[in-house]
Structure 1
C-alpha cells in the first residue's frame, strides 16, 4: 500500500515539475488587447482567461495544445513549445469571424474615439439590425450626476426630450415623433430585464438608473426591436457597469455640488475573486430646485452577486432600490412664465416613488455556437401624488387635497436561445451562408392598483386618505397577463449581404375592475347635489402576430447600407382611462394603437476619423391616442384621434479633424452634428378639422452639435441644442388656452459647457455650466401632475464633481 501511495505522489510531483508557466498577450488585428479570452489546455484540461489587458499565464508542458476562444473571433490553436515559447512575451493574434469582422472593427474604434457606435449583428443572445446606437459613458463629458439627458443622448438622432426635471430623477424621451412622456414608447430595461411600472398596462418609467452607474445606454429601433415587445419606439436598455475583473476590490466615490443647493454622492465597490464577482453602489442626491417649491431628495442602491459555476455557465442575482420625494412647483400660465419662469403658485403638491426590482440571470454557453440565457425578474413598487389639481388659473384656497396612490407588482421570465450555424461548407471552401437563429419565449404578469380621493390638508407630504375605505374619486385594479414567443433569424450570405427575418406572437390580456364616483354640482354655488358610485369592469384579450424583415449590404470595409420594416402595436392604458382628472375626460370607446415602421439608412466609419449614420424612416400610426378639445365643452378628451404618419430624415456625424494629417498628435479636436427633420401629421380623423394637422409634441427640426478637444489630461466641450416649435394638442392651437394646458411650445436653443481633468492617479475633476446663456424656455404643457400648465425648464446652472477611484 505504501508503494502505491508513493507511486501516485511521485507521479503528481513529476507531472507538476514537468510543467512550466507560459505567459503572453492576446491581441486582435488592430493590436488592441482582448480581455476575457478563454484558454483551454486540451492535454491537461486546465482553464484560464486573459486579464483586462489581454495578458495570460498558464501552466503547460511542451507539445500541449492550447485553444484560445472568444465571441466574434475564430478559435486559435497553439502548440506549446512551438508557437508558444518560454521567456519573453508571446504575442498571439486572434482573427475576427468573417461574418462579424467589419462590425466589430467599427465598434471598437467608435467606442474608443467617439463615445458612441453601432452594435454588432450578434451580441450575447441578441441580434441587432436596423437603426441602433450604443452610448459609451465612461469617457463621455457632461453633467452625469444630474443625468442631463440633453448631453447624455446628444449623439442619438431623432430624440425629443422633456426637460422639466433638472435633477435627472425622471427621464422623458421619445423618438421619431413619439411622445416623450416618461419614455413610455420605449420598452425600457436594465441589464435586459423590465423596469417600467407595467410593460403592457402602464409602460411608464418612474425609475431611471444613475448615469454614474452605467457602462452604456443601448437604443434599438427597426425590425430587431421585435425581440423586446410591441412598442413603437423600440428598446431602451441601461447597461450597469460590470464588476471590476482581476481585482478583489475597487472603490469609486463621486461627489458633486451644484447650483440651487444641489449635492450628490455616489459610492461604488466591486471586485472579482476566483469564480465570484460582486458590486454594490449607493447614490444620494438632494437640491432646492430651480423654481420655488421644487425641493427634492433621492436614494438609489444596487447590489449584484454572481458566480461562474464553470467556465461556460454564469449566474447572478441583482437587486435595485430607489426612493425619492419631490415638492412640485406646479404649472404656470403663459403670462406667469413671461413674468418669471422661476415662480410657483402651488406650494402643497408632492410626488413620491418607492421602486424595488429583483432579477436573476443565467447564461450558459452550451457550445461555441450555442448559448442559452434565462432571466427572471420581479418588481414591487408604488407612487404617490398629493396636491391641488385644479386649473392653474384657480387659486388654491387650502383645505383638503387630491391624492392618487398606485401600487405596482409584476414579474416575468424570459428565455432566449441563440444558435450560430453554417450552410454549404466544405473542407476546401468557406461556408457560403452563415447564420444565427434566436428563439425565445416570455411570460409576464402585472397588477396595478390605483386609488384616487381626498387627502389631508396642510402643506406637507402627508400621503393619507381622509376616507381610505371609501375614496371619493376612484378605486381600480388592473391585472395584465402576457405570453409571447419570438424568433429572429439572420443570414450572412457571402461577405457582404445580411438578411434578417423576425416574428413575434403576443397574447395580451388586460383587465380593469373597480368603481368611480360622479358628482352633480350646482352651477352657481358649486354645492354637491348628488353622488353616484359606478362600478365598472372590463376585460380585453387579443392575440397579435407581428412580423419584421431587414437587409444590410456592405458597401465597403467599414460601411453598409441597410433597410427594414416591422409591425408595431400598443395596448390601451387602462390606468390612464380610469384616473379622474378635472381637466380631462376619456372616450369610453378608446382602442389599441397599431402600425408599422420602415427605414433606409447608410452608416460607416471613414479612416477612423469620421463616423456617420444617415437614415430615412416612415411610421404609420393607426388609431393614435392623444388629447384634443372635447366639442361643446371646456374640457380636453383622451381619445383615438385618428391615423397619423411620421416620416423624416436623421443624420449623425462626427469628425476628428486632427486625424486628417499624417502625423499622430497627442490632442484631439472633434465636432459632431446630430440633426433630424420629422414631419408628423394626421391623415385620417373622426374630427375632420384634424386631417393634415401636425401630431402633438413633434419638433419638425432638431439639431444638436458640439465641439470638443482633449489634450493630455484635459477634456473640454461646448454643445448647442435646438428644437423647433411644437403643438401640444391635435387641434394645433397656437394661442394658449387660459389654463395653459393647450397652446404652442415655442422653439428654443440651449448651450452647455463641460470639462474634466484626470490626475495621474486616483482623482478626476469634472465641471460644467448647463444653459450658460440662461435661456428661458419650456418643453411641455402638462394636463395634470406635475402641472397643470407650463413646466419651465432649468435656467443657468453649474456643477463640480470630484471623483476618487482606488483599485487594490
Structure 2
C-alpha cells in the first residue's frame, strides 16, 4: 500500500512538472526532464478517521518507535467523559493500565502499568508536546498538572523501551500532543464546547486559531468547576494555552507555546472501611484544601537539513507551586473543637516551589548500506530543576483556604537536580521484512539536598548536606519482522528510578541514610504480535517481563549503645510478568454487510499481571529487639492481577454510541499483603470491582455536535486506593453513577 501511494504521488508530481514545462517552454530538451527521487516512507493517520486507537508509525519526526510496545489515541474519537479526564475510557484500548479513580475533577490522573504504582503517574515519563511536565523527573516525579483532555489532539503511549529516547522510567512514556489548529486554513476559526454534568459539573472550552501566510496560531481557555461527588470536594480549574508558529522558509520552522494551569480544590479526606460501608460518600474533613499553579513555556525549532536529515530542538521551562492546608490525621481521629481553646486544632500547611529549565536536541538521518535504507536517531538532553519545600507549618484554626502560618516552617529543604544525557538508536533494515533497532542512553545525574527538618526550641535540626552523582549506560535493542500488515516485535531495555528527594532527607536524630544507597535499576522485555487484517481486525498481543531491583525502604537497626534508628537503604527486588492483549473486531466489515446499516465494532482489552517480590528484606523493632523477615513471593502493592475492559461501538453516519465494561481484580495496599483493613483505613485489601459506562456522539453538521454519557451506569460502590497521606489519609471512594452532556460548535 505504501509503495503504491508513493508511486501514485511520484507520477502526479511528474505529470504536473511536465505540464508546467510544456506551457513555458516550446522546446523540451534532455535537461528539462524531471529527475525522480525516492520519497521517505510515511504512515498517514486520517484526521477524520473514526478509530480511536492506532499504532505509532515506525518513525515520527526525529524519533524511532519501531520495535516498541506503543499506542496512539485519537482524542476526538474517544467516547466518554474526557472533560473530567476519565482515564478508564481514554485508555480503554491500552491493555493493562491501572488507574486510581478518587479525584472527582480529573485534575490529577494516576496511571501505571505492569504492577507499578499509579501515584500521580510517577512511574511514567509524562510529557506535553515532547517536553517534561512533572515536578522533577529525577527527584520528585509526581505529576500535579495534566492537560485538559478537551484540548488534546492525540496521546502517545510507549511502554518499557521508551527509556532509550525519552527517559529511564520503568513505566515508559506518555506524551499529550495538544491541539494546534494545524488543519485550519483560514485567518480565523472559533471552537467552543460547553459541558454540564452531575454534582454541579460545568466546563467551558473556548478556542481560536488561524493561518495567515507563513504564520499560524491557536489558543484556548478552559474553565471547569463542580461540587464533587462527596461532601467537601468542590473544585475550580483554569487552563490556558497559546501556540504560535512561523515557517521562516521551506526548511526552518519556529514555534512558541505557553501554558497556564491553576486549580483550587477542597479535599474531603479519607474514611475507614466501617465509615465507607455506612456512607461511601461522606466526608469527615471540612478544612482541607489543595492548590496548584503551573506555568510552562517551550520554544521549538524544526530544521530540514536535507531530504534525508532533520533536526529538532526544544527549550522549555516551568514555574510551579503546590500548596496544601488541612487537618491531616487518619479518619478515625475526629477533627473537633479543642476544649481548652474552644477552637478547632491548628491546620498543617505545606508548600512546594518548582523552578525547572531544560533543552533537548534530536537529529535523525537516513543512509544506505547494501541498498537498504537505514535510519539513525540521536540526541542530547539537559535538565536542571530546583525545588524549595516547606512543610509542617502551623496554620490557622479556620475553614477556608489560608496559607498563613504562626511560626516559621519547621521543615525547609532545598533540592537541586542536574541531568545531562545522550541517546541514540539505529534502525537497521536487514531485509524488506526484518529490522533491528539497537540503542543506548548515557546518563549523568546529580542530586543535591540541604536544609532543616525541624526546629527544636531555637535550634535547627539540619540534614547533612547530601550530594549524589552517578553516571551510567543503559543499552537496549528492539526488532520487528513484518508479515503483510502484521508484525512480530520484541525489545529489551534497561531502566532505572533515581534516588528521590525523600530518600535523601531524614531526621538525623531518628533516621540514617545509607551512604551506599543505590538507584533502583532493572529492565523491561516485550515480545508480541500486532497489526491489521484487512479493515475488520486490529490486534496487539504480547508478553512482558519487568525486573525492578534495589527498591528503597526503611529497616530498623540498633546501635552498639542499644539505641534504635531507621536506616533508609536498598531492601530488595520485585518482578512483574504477564500478558497484555487488545483485539478490535468489526464483524459487519468482515461479512461485507451493506454500509448503510452502519458498523459495529467489538473490542477486548485484557491484562494478566503477576507482580511479586522475589526478595524484600524487612526489619522491625519489637520492644528491645529486632525482628527480621523477608516478603519474598508477596504480591506487589497496588497491582491487580487482572484488568479487563471490553466494549461495543455502533456508528452510522453522524451517530456513534459506545458501551464499555471494566473489571479490575483485587489488590493490596501494602507489601505485607494485609487483608483485614486496619482501623484507620490506610492498609487492607482493595476489593475487585466492575463498571458499565455508556456514551455517544451525534454530529448535526460538520460545525455542530452533541456528546453525552452515563458513567458507572449500575452505580457500583467501589474504591481504587488507600492513601497514607494526601489527599487522605484513609480509604478514597470512587465516583458513583453520573452523567454529562457536551454541546460543541466550530465556526
Q: What TM-score, normalized to structure 2?
A: 0.90
Q: Answer yes or no: is 1:735 the counterpart of 2:672.
A: no
Which residue does the alignment assign to 1:770?
711
Which residue does the alignment assign to 2:354?
408
Which residue does the alignment assign to 2:424?
487
Report which stretch shifted further, 529-538 or 644-653. Answer: 529-538
Which residue does the alignment assign to 2:485?
558
Which residue does the alignment assign to 1:678?
609
Residue by residue, what CA displacement relative to the aligned partner does 1:554-611 show, whole Å, maximum 9, x if unpaired? 1x2100101110101111211476499xxxx977336421101111000010111100
Q: CA deviation at 1:641?
A: 4.1
Residue by residue, what CA displacement relative to the aligned partner does 1:101-123 show, whole Å, maximum 9, x if unpaired? 7xx37x669x8353111111111
Q: CA deviation at 1:492?
A: 1.3
Q: Distance in 2 between matches of 1:543 and 1:148?
A: 39
Q: Distance in 2 between matches of 1:596 and 1:238?
A: 25
Which residue does the alignment assign to 1:171?
109
Q: Distance in 2 between matches of 1:650 and 1:211?
A: 25
**Aligned-residue CA RMSD (Å):** 3.0
Structure 1 pair 601/627, CA: closer, same or farther in 2 (3 Å)? Answer: farther
Residue by residue, what CA displacement relative to the aligned partner does 1:335-378 show, whole Å, maximum 9, x if unpaired? 01111111000111000000000000000011111001100000
Which residue does the alignment assign to 1:753?
694
Structure 1 pair 604/305, CA: closer, same or farther in 2 (3 Å)? Answer: same
Q: Distance in 2 between matches of 1:337 and 1:264?
A: 29
Q: Distance in 1 between matches of 2:443 and 2:635?
A: 31
Q: Distance in 1 between matches of 2:25 and 2:574?
A: 66
Which residue does the alignment assign to 1:668?
599
Q: Is the 8 A contact 2:449 2:504 kept in 1?
A: no
Which residue does the alignment assign to 2:156?
218
Which residue does the alignment assign to 2:311?
372
Give the alignment partner of residue 396 of structure 2, picking from 431, 442, 456. 456
Give the alignment partner of residue 519 of structure 2, picking from 577, 585, 592. 592
Residue by residue, what CA displacement relative to the aligned partner does 1:488-544 show, whole Å, maximum 9, x if unpaired? 11111221001001111110000111001277xxxxxxxxx9986234321110002
SS at structure 2 position matched to 1:223: helix
SS at structure 2 position matched to 1:315: strand
Q: Answer yes or no: is 1:710 the counterpart of 2:651.
A: yes
Q: Distance in 1 between matches of 2:503 and 2:329?
A: 18
Which residue does the alignment assign to 1:612?
539
Q: Distance in 1 between matches of 2:17 and 2:419?
A: 46
Q: Distance in 2 between matches of 1:296 and 1:689?
A: 43
Which residue does the alignment assign to 2:446?
509
Residue by residue, what CA displacement relative to the aligned partner does 1:427-454 show, whole Å, maximum 9, x if unpaired? xxxx2x2211011101110000000121
Give the alignment partner of residue 632 of structure 2, picking from 671, 686, 691. 691
Q: Is the 8 A contact 2:513 2:568 kept in 1?
A: no
Q: Is the 8 A contact 1:629 1:731 kept in 2?
A: no
Over alpha carbons, which structure has the higher Rg? 1
SS at structure 1 position matched to 2:302: strand
Q: Is the 8 A contact 2:493 2:523 kept in 1?
A: yes
Structure with higher RCO (Cα < 8 A, 6+ apart)? 2
Residue by residue, what CA displacement relative to the aligned partner does 1:316-341 show, whole Å, maximum 9, x if unpaired? 00000000000000000000111111
For 1:514-529, list aligned pairs within 5 A.
Answer: 514-517=451-454
Give the alignment partner of residue 23 of structure 2, picking from 38, 62, 66. 62
Q: Is the 8 A contact 1:627 1:730 kept in 2?
A: no
Q: Answer yes or no: is 1:254 the counterpart of 2:185.
A: no
Q: CA deviation at 1:222?
A: 3.4
Q: Is the 8 A contact 2:527 2:543 kept in 1?
A: yes
Q: Is the 8 A contact 1:566 1:597 kept in 2?
A: yes
Which residue does the alignment assign to 1:90?
none
Q: Is the 8 A contact 2:575 2:612 kept in 1?
A: yes
Give the alignment partner of residue 645 of structure 1, picking from 565, 575, 592. 575
Q: CA deviation at 1:28?
A: 8.7
SS at structure 1 position matched to 2:23: coil
Q: Is the 8 A contact 2:466 2:504 kept in 1?
A: no
Give the alignment partner of residue 135 of structure 2, picking from 168, 191, 197. 197
SS at structure 2 position matched to 1:367: coil
Structure 1 pair 592/79, CA: closer, same or farther in 2 (3 Å)? Answer: same
SS at structure 1 position matched to 2:678: coil
Residue by residue, what CA displacement relative to the aligned partner does 1:668-699 show, whole Å, maximum 9, x if unpaired? 10110000000000111223331110000001
Give the aligned length.
710
Which residue does the alignment assign to 2:216?
277
SS at structure 2 position matched to 1:145: helix
Q: Distance in 1 between matches of 2:635 and 2:566?
A: 17
Q: CA deviation at 1:381?
A: 0.8
Which residue does the alignment assign to 1:344?
283
SS at structure 2 position matched to 1:212: helix
SS at structure 2 position matched to 1:734: coil
Give the alignment partner of residue 55 of structure 2, picking from 118, 121, 129. 118
Q: Distance in 1 between matches of 2:718 and 2:108?
A: 19
Which residue does the alignment assign to 1:181?
119
Q: Distance in 2 between matches of 1:335 and 1:643?
A: 34
Which residue does the alignment assign to 1:319?
258
Q: Is the 8 A contact 1:119 1:133 kept in 2?
A: yes
Which residue does the alignment assign to 1:22?
none
Q: Is the 8 A contact 2:6 2:39 kept in 1?
A: no
Q: Is the 8 A contact 2:452 2:460 kept in 1?
A: no
Q: CA deviation at 1:657?
A: 1.5
Q: CA deviation at 1:242?
A: 2.7
Q: Distance in 2 between matches of 1:39 and 1:722?
A: 55
Q: CA deviation at 1:250?
A: 1.4
Give the alignment partner of residue 308 of structure 1, picking from 242, 247, 259. 247
Which residue does the alignment assign to 2:87?
149
SS at structure 1 position matched to 2:88: helix
Give the alignment partner of residue 415 of structure 2, picking from 462, 472, 478. 478
Q: CA deviation at 1:399?
A: 2.5
